[in-house]
Amino acid sequence: MRKQYDFSKAERGKFYRPGVRFSLPVYLEGDVRKFVEGIALKKKRDVSAIVNDLLKSDMRLAEAIK
């Protein structure tokens, strides 16, 4: 890294977009990925939708345990 940077021509907030949501990648282990892909193929749905369904189901179970 440099000791000093010149920000005299910088523009504050140039890439800021209010209300934008980021989709962060989630990395599944190989066996988990294969399992979820199998379900997705059988149900003819996207892998993301299956993962969300599984997580929501787990969330409902966790709420019921409280």
In order along its 66 residues, the chain shows pLDDT tens digits of: 999 999 999 999 999 999 998 888 999 999 999 999 999 999 999 999 999 999 999 999 999 998
Look up the pTM and report it: 0.65
Q: Where are the domains of the chain?
A: 30-65
Torsion, Cα 35 38 60 52, to 10 degrees, reads: 100
The string over 18-49, giving b where at least 16 C-beta atoms fall within 10 Å of a residue's C-beta and e elsewhere, is eeeeeeeeeeeeeeeeeebeeebeeeeeeeee
User: Which pair of structure tokens corresponds to residue 66?
Assistant: 């409280």
Alpha-carbon gap, residue 35 to 26, rounded angstroms: 15
